[in-house]
Amino acid sequence: MPDVVAAPAPSSTPEPPPSANAELIARYADGRERLKLTWLLAALSMLGPFSIDTYLPAFPAMEAALPATEVQMQLTLTVYFIGFAIVSLFHGAISDSIGRKPVIIGTIAVHAMGSVGCALSQSIESLLVFRALQGCFAGAGFVVGRAVVRDLFAGDEAQRQLSRIQMLFALAPIVAPILGGWLVAQLAWPAIFWFLGGYGLLLIVWTQIGLVESHPAEHRLLLAVKPLAATYWRMFFNREFQLLAAIPGINFVGFFTYIAGAPAFLMRHLGLRNTDFAALFIPGIAGITLAAWCSGRLAGRVSHQRQMRWGFSVMIGAALANVAVSLWLPAGVVWNIAPIAIYTFGMALVTPCITLKLLDAFAHARGSVSALQSSTHVGMMALTTAVIVPFAQQSLQRFAAVMLASVLIGTLLWKIYLATHPPAPTPAT
């Protein structure tokens, strides 16, 4: 498909943050201030994983209590992701117009109300409505947080900051299912959603106290429906955006299928209990955390192209091993989960490099492109929960086939990107 509007080509030296942010940039030269910001942005990003993973261990209990079928419970994930994909398009654009901080606080407040509605739901229909509301307002912390990083940091430091946030963010998918399994075992499934409401209130207070506005008024964009639609239209149908947004999203499908299908994968195929979800989530997220640490260490030492080549090689090896063990070994926690952890390590080596390329390719509207990328990825997750997970959860072999297909498609897209957007030559020294 031909490009509608050509985006600025990524430069080998990323555009520095606006000079109007000089005071903030000086502030975050202090390591302690950077660390505070890292923790806050990571906590904001955690809201999404908490909203997804905390209630997965409660699926059987919720099916019995509401009552609901397995398909209907999967639908609570699908409507969440649909709401997330649609409304998150506006988070970044609105933050480009009115600032980062009010968007974060306002959306989290609505998410907290949706959490209370889920806790009080007496039917699957009511739950679906409030899950959709949660989804609509869960993504601002993640979307706008990435724009905040790029507002304040440039080049290798931006990569390091994204990697640090990813390392802390990775705690959420580990803690969430463990906490959810404990809550449903000790209390009842509504306690999970009361917890989400309380977490939202905590984030509102923390953001109000700890986040300084990073997008000055003189750099803000006019918010209007037609220009916004035109901006998204140009971005979405730009070939560079399509490739850079699709690669990490498709790679993630290979892991996310296991997350969304965790009740079937762990309890049906591996014979574990609803308190044993950590057996999948801890190794998987450990791979992401280790890769995020490595990515931060590699920043400025290894080119993005080389780091991504390493990441894809790791993912392909893990996916092939996963297919082999699912075909020729009996179901077992160790050998069925180890390839997933290795896959996530490779996946997380690729993601920061792609994110920076995308933000720098559309430096004039980072909030908008961050939102559109997030919306695209979440749309993939909605499709995954609706179509791919029901297919994959029938057998371990199908789970493994989805992972292999994901990394092969992601690798092909990266090869296409390199062929059409060759890296700038390194200046002679």
- Determine the Cα–Cα distance for residues 242 and 215; give it in Å rounded to an integer: 26
Q: Show pLDDT as tens, one digit a residue, over the chain (429 residues).
A: 333 333 333 333 344 444 446 677 677 777 788 888 899 999 999 998 899 889 988 988 999 999 988 888 989 998 998 998 888 778 877 887 888 899 999 999 999 999 999 999 999 999 999 999 999 999 888 878 878 887 888 777 777 887 788 777 777 877 888 899 899 989 999 999 999 999 999 999 999 998 888 777 777 766 777 777 887 888 888 888 889 999 999 999 999 999 888 888 998 899 988 778 889 888 988 898 888 788 878 877 888 788 889 999 999 999 999 999 999 999 999 999 999 999 999 999 998 888 888 888 887 777 678 778 878 888 898 889 888 998 999 999 999 999 999 999 999 999 999 888 876 655 444
- Determine the Cα–Cα distance for residues 41 and 34; give it in Å rounded to an integer: 11
What was the pLDDT predicted at 277?
Answer: 85
What was the pLDDT predicted at 20?
Answer: 45
Q: 3-state DSSP call for residue 5? A: coil
- Determine the Cα–Cα distance for residues 382 and 387; give it in Å rounded to an integer: 9
What was the pLDDT predicted at 177?
Answer: 86
Cβ proximity of 304 and 349 under 8 Å: no
Q: 3-state DSSP call for residue 350? A: helix
What was the pLDDT predicted at 71?
Answer: 82
- Determine the Cα–Cα distance for residues 109 and 43; give it in Å rounded to an integer: 15
Shortest CA distance to 295 belongs to which of 282, 308, 313, 281?
Answer: 308
Superfamily for 27-420? Answer: MFS general substrate transporter like domains (1.20.1250.20)
Per-residue burial over 332-351, b = 16 or more CB atoms within 10 Å of its CB, e = otherwise = eeeebbbbbbbbbbbbbbbb
106: its two tokens: 């306002």
Shortest CA distance to 199 belongs to which of 47, 308, 69?
Answer: 47
Which sign, positive or negative, has the C-alpha torsion 182, 183, 187, 188?
A: negative
Cβ proximity of 178 and 47 under 8 Å: no
- 10 Å CB burial of residue 78 (0-12, 13-18, 19+) is buried
What was the pLDDT predicted at 343?
Answer: 97
What was the pLDDT predicted at 111?
Answer: 96
- Determine the Cα–Cα distance for residues 202 and 194; give it in Å rounded to an integer: 13
What was the pLDDT predicted at 199?
Answer: 96
What was the pLDDT predicted at 10?
Answer: 38
Cβ proximity of 294 and 349 under 8 Å: yes
Helix axes 366-383, 239-260, angle to 10 degrees: 40
What was the pLDDT predicted at 98?
Answer: 86
What was the pLDDT predicted at 65?
Answer: 92
The alpha helices in 99-217, defined as continuous H runs, are 100-120, 124-136, 140-152, 155-169, 171-186, 190-210
What was the pLDDT predicted at 28?
Answer: 75
